[in-house]
Structures are given as C-alpha cells and as structure tokens.
Amino acid sequence: MQAGTTIFEHMSGLACAHGAINLGQGFPDFGWPQSVLQAAADAALTGHNQYPPMRGTPELRAAVAAFYGRRQGLALAPEQVVVTSGGTEALAASIFAIVQPGDEVIILGPAYDAYAPLVARAGGVAVLVPLAPPDWQLAPGALAAAITPRTRAIMVNTPHNPCASLAGPAMRAELAAVAAAHDLIVISDEVWEEVIAPGTSHASLLAEPGLAGRVIKIGSAGKLLALTGWKVGWVVADSALAERVAQSHQFLTFTTATPLQAAVAHGLGLPDAWFEAARARLAQARDRLVTRLQGDGWVVLPSAGSYFVLVDLPASGVEMADMDFCEAAVRQAGVAAIPLSAFTGGREAGGTRFIRLCFAKQDAVLDAGADALARARQLA
C-alpha cells in the first residue's frame, strides 16, 4: 500500500520553506514542565539507557494507573498498562492485535489520519460512519446501520482531532449499546483527554457502563505534558486485552526509550494544580485566537478539546476548496493551516468547507498567524 506523505509533514515543510507561521501541525510552543526535562536528563545520565521491560517500566505503568485513578476515577492495576512509542504505536498495536484480514472496522469520520491506513495494513476494511458539524456527534441509528457480521471494532476519538468535539453522553451510550449487542471492541483514542476546559473531567469510554472488557483506551504523554516529540504513549485495557496488545507491540517497537519513561512517570505525578494550570493556559490561547479570528470575520466552530479550532471557509465568505486555500495561504500569505479533507479520505477527495488551526502557540505567533490569515482572505 502506498500511503504518500502526510499533510502535516507537507504543510510543516512548506511552512519552513516559505518562512510561514505554522498553525498547521499540532504541537505547542510552550507548556512543558522543566522538572520533567530534568528527570529525563537525570535518568539518561544515571544509567537508565538499556532496554526496559517490553510492557514498559514498572514505574511508568504504576504512574499511568495512578494518574487515571486520580484524574478520571478509573480503578486500574499496572498490569493493565502497556507502554508504547507514542499514541501512534498504541493505535497500530491495538489495530494489529484485533483486526484480522477481512474484518470491518467502523471509523467515525472525519477521523485522525492514521486510522484508515493502519486498518488497511492489518488487512481490514474501514467503514466510515459520518459525524456532522457543528457538534460532530453520531446521528441516532447511524452506527447500528453500519454493522455487519464482519464488523470487529469501532474506532472512537474523544476529545476529537480535528473536530475539537467531545463524545457526549448520548453518543457514548449508543457506542456502548451497539458494541455490546454485536460483541465489538472499542479502540478509544483519548490522547487529548487533558486538553479540555479547566475544572471539567474527561469522560473515558473505559468508564462507560456496558463497555467493560471491550475498551482499549489510548493515551499519550506528548499531549499530557506538552512534549509531542517524545513519543511516549500507552494503552490501558482489561488484562486479557492488554496482553493481546502487548503481543502485537513486541514486534512493532518492542520497547520505548528508557529515560523518557522515567521522566514521564515523574510528570504524571505532578500535582493536579499543574494540569489545571496547563488547561487554563491553553484555553487562554484558544480564546485569543478565536476572538481575533471572529473580529476579522472568520466563522469559527466551537472547540471543546484538543489544540485545534475549525474555520468554516464558505461561511466566512471564502469560496476556495480547503486544500487550495491552505496551499495559497502558506505559499503567498505566510501561514500554514491543515485542510479538513486530510481527515476525510485524502487530498484528492474534492475538499471540505473547513480548515484546522492549532492555537497552542505564544500570543505573538497567534497574532501573526491571524494577520497572515487576513492576508490569505484577500487571495480568495
């Protein structure tokens, strides 16, 4: 299978080449804890550099279980945690553990761009069930209508990238009812779980009544600690499912960087106040960008989770297709954004109404990005 180059790589490359402000790829330019960087350095300098256990260091597995107990009320044992090389490897290990050739996997779309290629690589068939704007919830009955005797699993993403929505109570209940009725596994990508409104709590599908024993929950230190380049992630699931994912993981990357595991274990133990302050800082960045964009006449969709907001081009008076607008914006106006069509089946699919912007940036970068978007509007 030829997957091509991802839109993130493409747009970040163009942003570099044209000296553009990069509101495309989702990485923050602030917010990581200094003590976690120090813990990584200390671990490397004090001899924590050889292969760790395949399922992750005991310290990190215990820290993940404790973190979810404290922040989400989940009762987990360290044995239920498998450490992976980022959320991406957690997705791959989970899909390869569950999906057999010919199995159908429900993908709720728009969807994170790795899902469909990984399902195809496992020999499975991705079956798209659409989520519609502005709230991106399941239409009642749509999920049940897509189930066939070959359906094996459902991929869920909450908070959602790129739509910045949360799976609400009705959607979670419907997922649980359909998964239980048809004996399906739910692969729940929750990497954005901490990037939500200050003072709220994340509703994990692992806690959904009716889904016991069916959920593989995926997390990422990249998002939790604002260190996206570290690529430390994990799955948590009941012990039998976790064992299956571990067997798949052992022939993907086998293990994950030892000193980074030590540092992430330290980071997950930071006080709740640190995580709350991180949320508040991101909400401030989001509000700064959204206020500025709205002032310039852009129509922005609500953003409840993740680093992203979607802008509706035609509602904002721009008639270009999303991909054409993003190409023109980065080359001629100096700002990179991501077309939503990257999450709906590829750049060739004819385009969507939306572009995705990352707000996890310093104020000056957000202001310069908004200035450049105003210039891009003149090109349309």
Q: How many CB atoms lie within 10 A of CB 27?
A: 18
From start to end of the chain, where are the E strands? 21-22, 81-84, 104-109, 125-132, 137-138, 151-157, 185-189, 215-220, 233-236, 299-300, 308-312, 335-336, 338-339, 354-358
In sequence order, what are the residues at sequence separation of 6 or more whose Cβ sits closer than 8 angstroms to the Cβ of residue 242?
79, 80, 81, 82, 235, 236
Is it true that the peptide bond before 339 is cis, omega within 30 degrees of 0? Answer: no
- From residue 273, alpha-carbon distances to 198, 264, 267, 279, 280 in Å are 10, 17, 13, 10, 10
By the 8 A CB rule, do 252 and 121 touch? no
Angle at 93 between CA 167 and CA 179, to 5 degrees: 40
Specify the DSSP class assigned to residue 173: H
In sequence order, what are the residues at sequence separation of 6 or more whose Cβ sits closer than 8 angstroms to the Cβ of residue 349?
341
> Of 10 and 231, which CB lies nearer to ligand PMP in the complex structure?
231
Answer for which of 86, 110, 305, 369 binds ligand PMP (CB under 6 A) is 86
Of 168-176, 220-228, 278-286, 329-337, the window that binds ligand PMP (rule: CB under 6 A) is 220-228
231 binds ligand PMP (CB under 6 A): yes
Q: Is 337 helix (H, G, I), strand (E, B) or coil?
A: coil
Answer for which of 189, 194, 312, 322 binds ligand PMP (CB under 6 A) is 189
> Of 191 and 333, which CB lies nearer to ligand PMP in the complex structure?
191
The candidate with the shortest Cα–Cα distance to 289, out of 310, 274, 305, is: 310
157 binds ligand PMP (CB under 6 A): yes
Answer for which of 68, 112, 275, 354 binds ligand PMP (CB under 6 A) is 112
Distance CA 55, CA 239 (A): 12
Answer for which of 52, 56, 110, 233 binds ligand PMP (CB under 6 A) is 233
User: Closest approach of Cβ 372 to ligand PMP, in Å?
Assistant: 23
Answer for which of 228, 255, 256, 303 binds ligand PMP (CB under 6 A) is 228
Of 44-52, 85-93, 235-243, 316-324, the window that binds ligand PMP (rule: CB under 6 A) is 85-93
User: Closest approach of Cβ 198 to ligand PMP, in Å?
Assistant: 21
> Of 316 and 344, which CB lies nearer to ligand PMP in the complex structure?
344
By the 8 A CB rule, do 314 and 327 touch? no
> Of 88 and 352, which CB lies nearer to ligand PMP in the complex structure?
88
Of 80-88, 235-243, 334-342, 352-360, the window that binds ligand PMP (rule: CB under 6 A) is 80-88
User: Closest approach of Cβ 59 to ligand PMP, in Å?
Assistant: 19
22 binds ligand PMP (CB under 6 A): no
Of 44-52, 147-155, 227-235, 257-265, the window that binds ligand PMP (rule: CB under 6 A) is 227-235
Answer for which of 52, 56, 124, 222 binds ligand PMP (CB under 6 A) is 222
Distance CA 337, CA 355 (A): 6
Answer for which of 14, 23, 26, 94 binds ligand PMP (CB under 6 A) is 26
Residues in contact with ligand PMP by CB under 6 A are 26, 86-88, 112, 157, 161, 189, 191, 220, 222, 228, 231, 233
